[in-house]
């Protein structure tokens, strides 16, 4: 069962029962996320962001870095 949000995204009303979240691990991961964005996204380490902005930015930068790494591997195989 999914509820549709205005932007078309679906959300399960029982998502919290289907997943395990270690809040301590997530909180301790924030400095690593900020450092990752500072290194690869060239963003200020001390810039204030919401948790959702921080996690979204880390995912976006990680996707770009992974794509670049894949391209480098393909070129090395030639």
Q: Provide the pLDDT for residue 20.
A: 81
Q: What is the DSSP string of the chain?
A: --EEPTTS-EE-TTHHHH----HHHHHHTHHHHHHHHHHHS---TT----HHHHHHHHHHHHHHHHHHHHHHHHHHT-
CA distance 25 to 39: 21
Return averaged pLDDT per consecutive 10 residues of the chain, 78 residues in all. Answer: 62 73 85 88 85 87 88 76
pTM: 0.56
């Amino acid at each position: 069962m999914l509820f549709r949000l205005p932007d078309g995204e679906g959300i399960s009303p029982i998502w919290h029962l289907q997943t395990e979240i270690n809040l301590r691990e997530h909180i301790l991961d924030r400095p690593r996320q900020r450092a990752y964005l500072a290194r690869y996204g060239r963003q200020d380490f001390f810039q204030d962001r919401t948790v959702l902005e921080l996690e979204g930015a880390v995912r976006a930068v990680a996707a770009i870095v992974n794509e670049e790494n894949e391209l480098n591997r393909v070129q090395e195989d030639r």
